[in-house]
Amino acid sequence: MKGRSNMDTVLRRSIAGFVATIIAVSVNWILYLFRVLPSTTSHYAAISITPPGTLITNFSLLLGVLTNLVAGTFGGVGLASLFNWTGNDYSWLKGIGIAAIWGLVAGLMLKFEIGARVHD
């Protein structure tokens, strides 16, 4: 039964990451549609997974959204594993800390033009 319990834990963590990513991507697209953001994370993901010079099409954006969802699912497993390792106390603060570190890394990647270039 221990193997089944572990699988249930991984499945729950995956679902949590998937749901959180759906919320984040939805907010990102809403801000993009209201012209608050110049592009979405789906645009960056689409450019990152297609060959250089490929135009952003609906299909590549769909691939970008799917890439975000897969990455978010793995992120949910990783964050929940961190909680398992360090305990559930101050989990909200740990989540904010991980998000801040990720935002800093992503911001530095954009600043130093590491990765995809959406705006040319």
- The packing angle between helices 91-111 and 58-86, to 10°, is 140
| Residue 119 within a domain | no
Tokens 């919320």 correspond to 23
| Residue 118 within a domain | no
Burial 58-77 (b: 16+ CB within 10 A, else e): eebbebbbebbbeebbebbb
| Residue 21 within a domain | yes
50-99 per-position pLDDT tens digit: 887 888 889 989 998 998 899 888 888 888 888 888 888 887 888 788 87
Domain count of the chain?
1
Range of the domain at 73: 2-111
| Residue 57 within a domain | yes
| Residue 63 within a domain | yes
Q: Has this prediction a pTM greater than 0.85?
A: no
